[in-house]
Amino acid sequence: MRILLVDDSKTMRNIQKAVLAQLGHTEVLEACDGQDALSKAPAFRPDLMLVDWNMPNMDGLTFVKAWRTTNKTTPIIMVTTEAEKSRVIEAIKAGVNNYVVKPFTPDLLSQRIQETLAKCGQSAAA
Amino acid sequence: MDPMFIKPFIASIQNVFSTMMQLQVTVKEPFLKKDDNPNHDVSGIIGMSGDVQGSVVLAFPQKTAENVVALFAGSPMQLGTPDFADAVGELVNMVSGGAKAMFKDKKVAISCPSVIIGGNHHVARQSDLPCVVIPCATDCGDLYIEVMIKPSPVSTTAKTGATAAQPAKA
Please state the pTM of the whole predicted model.
0.88
Contact with chain A for residue B158, Cβ under 8 A: no
CB atoms closer than 10 angstroms to residue B166: 13
Whether residue B85 is predicted with pLDDT greater than 90 in this model: the reply is yes
pLDDT at B158 over 60: no
Is the per-residue pLDDT at B75 higher than 60? Answer: yes
Q: E strands along B5-77, which residues?
A: 26-27, 31-32, 40-50, 52-60
How distant is the Cα of A88 from the closest Cα of chain B, in angstroms? Answer: 12
Strand, helix or coil for residue B137? strand
pLDDT, greater one: B77 or B163? B77
**pLDDT in 10s for each residue of chain A, 126 residues:** 999 999 999 999 999 999 999 989 999 999 999 999 999 999 999 999 999 999 999 999 999 999 999 999 999 999 999 998 999 999 999 999 999 999 999 999 999 999 999 998 775 555
CA-to-CA distance for A14 and B73, rounded, in angstroms?
Answer: 8
Whether residue B35 is predicted with pLDDT greater than 50 in this model: the reply is yes
Q: Does the CB of B161 have a partner CB in chain A at under 8 Å?
A: yes
Q: Which amino acid is at A73?
A: T
User: Are A54 and B72 a contacting pair at CB < 8 A?
Assistant: no
Closest in A12, A56, A105 to B90, CB measured: A12
B168 confidence band (pLDDT: 50, 70, 90):
very low
- pLDDT for B141 beyond 80: yes
> Least CB-CB distance to A104: which of B19, B86, B107?
B19
Most trustworthy range by pLDDT among B83-97, B102-116, B154-168: B83-97
Per DSSP, helices labelled H in B126-170 are none
Query: Quick one: pLDDT at residue A47?
Result: 96
Per-residue pLDDT tens over the stretch B117-128: 999 998 887 788
The pLDDT of residue A117: 92
Is residue B135 classed exposed, middle or buried when 0-12, 13-18 and 19+ CB atoms within 10 A define those classes?
middle
Q: Please give the pLDDT value at position A126.
A: 54
Q: Is the pLDDT of residue B72 over 50?
A: yes
CA distance to partner chain B, nearest, from residue A42 (Å): 25
Residue B112 scores a pLDDT above 50: yes
ipTM of the complex: 0.88
Interface subset of B 58-87, CB within 8 angstroms of A: 72-74, 82-83, 86-87
Query: How far lies A3's CA from each of A74, A113, B40, in Å?
Result: 10, 11, 39
